[in-house]
Structure 1
Amino acid sequence: MSAFPTAAQKFDPARANDYRAQSRIALAGYDACHELAACMLTATLGAGSTARVLVVGAGGGAQEILTAGLLEPNWRFTAVDPSAPMMEIALANLEQKGLLGRTEIHLGYVDDLTSDELFDAATLIGVLHHQPGEESKRQLLRSVASRLRPGAPLILAGNRYAYTSQPLLLAAWGERWRMQGATAEEVQAKLGKILEGADPPASEEVVAELLADAGFEQPTWFFSSLFWGACLAKRGKDHLA
């Protein structure tokens, strides 16, 4: 899942095919995070509400749409992802679950979307830590904010600590892979890959600062799994991102 070309290049056909299984090992509680994200959106928008939801980085399975769409039958979705192999997986899942008719597919970037029609909510799950440097993260959050109604909720989820700043969490992450059958050599290779392959915000405080700069209110954190955290933040009613 990604939103900018440098990140999109990571998700080639080979990685796209492995994504479903690998993501559930790398993130303990993958399904629970998505379920709670849907519950948080419903708690904010109201059960049985009608809403248009922007799903940024929907490729790789469209789990955000599958979960929220089951809970809220009146919601419609716009799925955005620049990776064709990842989007193909999302399309297959949406069609299988009968949600393709409620989803507009956009192979590209948030900046390509018109800003004339504003969304009632958005999700950004597993995307931000793939954006290199704070400026690209800030740009992405501003792009999302500019397409949301004032007061609309954003679900933001991803890794939110610098990996080397949390050696215990990094070691536990390696043990998680060993628990799933990886050898010691495979664990070291995976640890090396994560250290080179992503650039998470340095802390939850930095996440809050990035959100505030883009015009969002203070986030409410609702899920944590080692480096991963998920929060909900509303777009400020008086801020023009």
Structure 2
Amino acid sequence: MASSSTHPAEKFDTSRASEYGKQSRIALAGYDACHDLAACMLAATLGPSRPANVLVVGVGGTAQEIIAMAALEPDWRFTAVDPSAPMLETATEQLQANGLLHRTALHLGHVDDLPAEPAFDAATLIGVLHHLNGDEPKRHILRSIQQRLKPGAPLIVAGNHYAYASQPLLLQAWGQRWRQQGASADEVAAKLGKILQGADPPQSEAAVQALLDEAGFGEATRFFSSLFWGAWLASRRPVDVG
């Protein structure tokens, strides 16, 4: 487990926010496909062409989850939250460029800052859990989301899982992903170092499910995988037994 005293949001300064869209699409092969499929999974769960209010946690950077969902479902509206001001600013620019600001309420801060009511029809948490150091912050953010969802409402969770050092072949392939894009050996080492800085992903897919279960969600369905990355859909249990 990588340890760091730095708050996760502090890693995403102006420099990192400005390159986030490009670097994320290199680091995650299938970045856009994952977001597109997340939108499809939510639409399949909620029922297509129905109004919905969706909570988007960690929207900063590309706002790609909103862009994908909005293109599929014109009657969905979004509440987006991110603790990094530079990342939220970059997301705002993307939403403005795609004509989606009027459908999105943006909040600088944390899920806990949002009121518990009205409850949301669905939520997404993409690329966040592996930046939270330790299991308790992971449980906390999942529980905070759960408390703001309607019973039975779906949640998309996506991010890295496995301890990075436990999968040396995947780690080497991850480095080759940058080399594939023209990076030198030194640049590859620098990119990997930045990604690994302070990162603490869940240790396995079972660990992701355990966190979801402890936060009041049912069994998750994985719908996307790419090296260390996985994406799942789970739903808030109709009756909270936590």
TM-score scaled by length of structure 1: 0.96
Structure 1 CA distance, aligned partners of 2:43 and 2:232?
14
What does residue 157 of structure 1 align with? 158
Q: Secondary structure at the match of 1:122?
A: strand
- Cα drift, residue 19 of structure 1: 0.4
Aligned residue for 1:180? Answer: 181
Q: Secondary structure at the match of 1:9?
A: helix
Please give the alpha-carbon distance, in whole angstroms, between the structure 1 residues aligned to 2:42 and 2:116: 22
The CA deviation string for residues 63-110 of structure 1, in whole angstroms up to 9 with x for no partner, is 110110010000000010111111111111111211110111111110
One-letter amino acid matched to 2:98: K
In structure 1, what is the Cα distance between the partners aligned to 2:226 and 2:33? 10
| Counterpart AA for 2:12 | F
Deviations 1:177-224 (A, max 9, x none): 111111112222223333333110000000000000000001000000
* 2:39 paired residue number: 38
The alpha carbon displacement at 1:46 in A equals 0.7
Deviates more, 1:153-162 or 1:85-94: 85-94
CA distance in 1, matches of 2:51, 2:120: 11
Percent sequence identity over aligned pairs: 66
Kindly indicate whether the alpha-carbon contact (under 8 Å) linking 2:56 and 2:78 is maintained by their aligned counterparts in 1.
yes
Which amino acid in 1 is paired with 2:16?
Answer: R
Q: Partners in 2 of 1:226 and 1:214 — Cα distance? A: 26
Aligned equivalents of 1:17 and 1:35: distance in 2? 22
Give the structure-2-normalised TM-score.
0.95
**Retained in 1: the 8 A contact 2:130–2:160?**
yes
**Which amino acid in 1 is paired with 2:21?**
R
AA of the residue aligned to 1:71: L
- The count of residues paired between Structure 1 and Structure 2 equals 237
1:239 aligns with 2:240: yes
Distance in 2 (CA, whole Å) between partners of 1:13 and 1:29 is 25
Aligned residues: CA RMSD: 1.1
Structure 2 gaps, min length 5: 1-5
Letter in 2 for 1:199: D
Secondary structure at the counterpart of residue 158 of structure 1: strand
Corresponding residue number in structure 2 for 1:229: 230
Letter in 1 for 2:35: H
Q: Which residue of 2 aligns with 1:213?
A: 214
Between stretches 19-28 and 93-102, larger displacement belongs to 93-102
Moved more, 153-162 or 190-199: 190-199
In the alignment, does 2:89 pair up with 1:88?
Answer: yes
Rounded to whole Å, the distance in 2 between the matches of 1:172 and 1:165 is: 14
Amino acid of the structure 2 residue aligned with 1:89: T
Decide whether the 8 Å contact of 2:133 with 2:198 is kept in 1: no
Counterpart of 2:155 in structure 1: which amino acid?
L
Unaligned runs of 5+ in 1: none
Which residue identity lines up with residue 194 of structure 1 in the other structure? I
CA deviation profile, 1:22-74 (whole Å, cap 9, x unmatched): 00000000000000000000000011011000000011021110110010000
CA distance in 1, matches of 2:54, 2:30: 23
Equivalent residue number for residue 76 of structure 2:
75
Q: Deviations over 1:136-183 (max 9, x none)?
A: 101110001000001000000000111011111001001111111111
The letter of the residue matching 1:203 is S
